Chains A and B, each alone.
Chain A
Amino acid sequence: MAKILITNREGEQSEIEGEIGISVMENLRDNDYELEAICGGQCSCATCHIYIDESWMEKVGPRNDEENELLEELECVQPGSRLSCQIEFTEELDGLVLTIAPDE
């Protein structure tokens, strides 16, 4: 098991034991974080928006094309913006630090 450090929309910090091999979105959903994720991971809706902490951006890697197009249209997009359904949680991401973006 590997850890994820999360700041929720209220600004509260917490830590979860992430499940390897499923997406970061699924990890957040399974642990009851407020996150819409309406399309269920199909990269169709941009409702699972998170910010990756700057120190993790390189390890997590860049956005894919579809994801980038969805994110660029959001008002609260930041350099660390990602759609959490597009990131597979792996051992290498143990200790990942992220913040859940506001609902638009």
Chain B
Amino acid sequence: MTQTIIVVGAGHAGGQAVATLRQKGFDGRIIMIGDEPYVPYERPPLSKAVLAGELEVERTFLKKEAWYPEKQIDFRPNTLVTSFDRRAKTVTTSHGENLAYDKLLLATGTRVRKLQAPGAKLENIFYLRDIDDTLSIRKQMKPGANVVIVGGGYIGLEVAAVAVKLGCHVTVLEGLDRVMSRVVAPEVSEFYDKVHTDAGVIIKTGMAVTGFEGQGKVERVTCADDSSFPADLVVIGVGVIPNVELAAEGDLAVDNGIVVDEFCQTSDENIWAVGDCTNHPNALLGRRLRLESVQNAVDQAKTAANAMCGELKEYAEIPWFWSDQYDLKLQIVGLSEPGDEVVIRGNPADRKFSAIYLRHGKFVAINAINMIKDFMAAKKLIAEGKHLDPVKAADAEVALKDM
């Protein structure tokens, strides 16, 4: 009997999973269901090179369109899975089809958190999640346009960097007291605030957006302190929500993400889940977590695909991320927490420095800004659980790998 694997979700994780399944020699039927019109693609370039018009959309595709039929992968774009029946082992699609599976992989990802505010449905208010969002924003980003960005996280700041380079007047409204506060130390936030300000971006922190005004199209963004900002275009980047509803309706364990084990298996032995939508254990971090990250999506997809082929390799990786803004390559390894000791290596004024995070002396995370060698060394040292002397670590003349 030919086995059937159904993959729900055609993002980075879903795309990697089907590639690994075929690479591992799985020769059964694969159906991959995605709600977008595109084959799986890389999202990171969207807020960077694609938005800037420097990279064609097709070059973000993980595999070319022709690859899927060549590999006998039945790809169903523009399709949602509306429900599934674990006992009958079937999924139902938005086109009313019932499809039977032997094994199911949930790679449902996340969706943007929407602002609930008066006027939030006006034209020219965008979120940036997929290719179509990016192309719509790009079209409106004309030189001289007033661009207001709500949210000073990775997405907001990357969009700001592109917009100001294109000649737009850019204002970033951040709700908390500093930019990227969720992921970097105050010293790094301060640095990025200054870089953007020097580039001509207006950064306003501690701003609570109360609404949007305009006739049909957005014209102004209003805030709780009664200030308002003229806007031809608004881009909102205030986080994402994991897509767990399908799993929850199917009575799988869900707790801020679909609960999986170290092999990405859910509470049902025929169902696996991967990527941004999972709550997974990580032995290297000693805890469970949910991550929004390409590295995690790729590595979990491989783990699950291997497990579905009967090859059990535990998932345990130190997370890493990156963000490109202007000439700055920010590379992050590990997860810092409030309370970690922060050591600055190098001088922010040189646009080349690292923030090292120590927890009781143990090296747990790094933000490396144009410090590629530190990033590479940190990947190894953090995985080893290395302890660092904070005084030595601050000396950028000494290579991290030699500590």
B322 touches A44 (CB 8 A): yes
Question: Does B92 belong to the interface (CB within 8 Å)?
Answer: no
Contact for A39 among B23, B59, B294, CB less than 8 A: B294
Query: Looking at A22, A36, A39, A69, which has the most chain B CB atoms within 10 Å of its CB?
Result: A39
Given contacts A29-B63, A42-B45, contact A74 B329 (CB under 8 A): no
Question: Does A72 belong to the interface (CB within 8 Å)?
Answer: yes
Smallest Cβ-Cβ distance to B330: which chain A residue:
A44
Question: Does A45 belong to the interface (CB within 8 Å)?
Answer: yes
Q: How many residues of B contact A (CB 8 A)?
A: 26
Smallest Cβ-Cβ distance to A44: which chain B residue:
B322
Smallest Cβ-Cβ distance to A34: which chain B residue:
B23
A69 touches B294 (CB 8 A): no
Question: Does B64 belong to the interface (CB within 8 Å)?
Answer: yes
B63 touches A74 (CB 8 A): no
- For the complex formed, measure the closest distance between the CB of B393 and the CB atoms of chain A, giving whole angstroms: 17
Smallest Cβ-Cβ distance to A46: which chain B residue:
B376
Question: Does A62 belong to the interface (CB within 8 Å)?
Answer: no
A32 touches B23 (CB 8 A): yes
Question: Does B80 belong to the interface (CB within 8 Å)?
Answer: no
- For the complex formed, measure the closest distance between the CB of B215 and the CB atoms of chain A, giving whole angstroms: 41
Question: Does B401 belong to the interface (CB within 8 Å)?
Answer: yes
User: A27-64 CB contact bits vs B (8 Å, 1 = yes)?
Assistant: 00110101010111011111000000000000000000
Smallest Cβ-Cβ distance to A73: which chain B residue:
B376
B60 touches A40 (CB 8 A): yes
Given contacts A38-B294, A38-B295, A40-B45, contact A69 B373 (CB under 8 A): yes
Smallest Cβ-Cβ distance to B55: which chain A residue:
A41
Chain B residues whose CB sits within 8 angstroms of the CB of A44 once the complex forms:
322, 324, 329, 331
Cα A89 to Cα B354 with chains together (Å): 34
B377 touches A73 (CB 8 A): yes
Chain A residues whose CB sits within 8 angstroms of the CB of B60 once the complex forms:
40
Smallest Cβ-Cβ distance to B44: which chain A residue:
A40
Cα A34 to Cα B16 with chains together (Å): 11
Cα A44 to Cα B105 with chains together (Å): 29
Cα A44 to Cα B60 with chains together (Å): 16
Cα A40 to Cα B322 with chains together (Å): 11
Given contacts A26-B59, A42-B324, 9 further A-B contacts (CB under 8 A): A22-B59, A32-B19, A40-B60, A40-B294, A42-B44, A44-B322, A66-B372, A72-B373, A73-B372
**In the complex, chain B residues 99-116 whose Cβ is within 8 Å of any chain A Cβ:** none
User: B42-63 CB contact bits vs A (8 Å, 1 = yes)?
Assistant: 1011001000000000011011
Cα A64 to Cα B22 with chains together (Å): 35
Question: Does A70 belong to the interface (CB within 8 Å)?
Answer: yes
User: A14-34 CB contact bits vs B (8 Å, 1 = yes)?
Assistant: 000000001000100110101
Cα A38 to Cα B372 with chains together (Å): 16
Chain A residues whose CB sits within 8 angstroms of the CB of B373 once the complex forms:
69, 72-73
Smallest Cβ-Cβ distance to B70: which chain A residue:
A32
Question: Does B298 belong to the interface (CB within 8 Å)?
Answer: yes
- For the complex formed, measure the closest distance between the CB of B380 and the CB atoms of chain A, giving whole angstroms: 8
Chain A residues whose CB sits within 8 angstroms of the CB of B401 once the complex forms:
73
**In the complex, chain B residues 7-52 whose Cβ is within 8 Å of any chain A Cβ:** 19, 22-23, 42, 44-45, 48
Cα A60 to Cα B320 with chains together (Å): 30
Smallest Cβ-Cβ distance to A75: which chain B residue:
B380
Chain B residues whose CB sits within 8 angstroms of the CB of A32 once the complex forms:
19, 22-23, 67
User: B107-143 CB contact bits vs A (8 Å, 1 = yes)?
Assistant: 0000000000000000000000000000000000000
- For the complex formed, measure the closest distance between the CB of B137 and the CB atoms of chain A, giving whole angstroms: 20
**In the complex, chain B residues 289-305 whose Cβ is within 8 Å of any chain A Cβ:** 294-295, 298
Give the 8 A-B CB pairs with smallest separation, nearest first: A73-B376, A69-B372, A40-B42, A44-B322, A69-B373, A70-B372, A38-B298, A73-B373
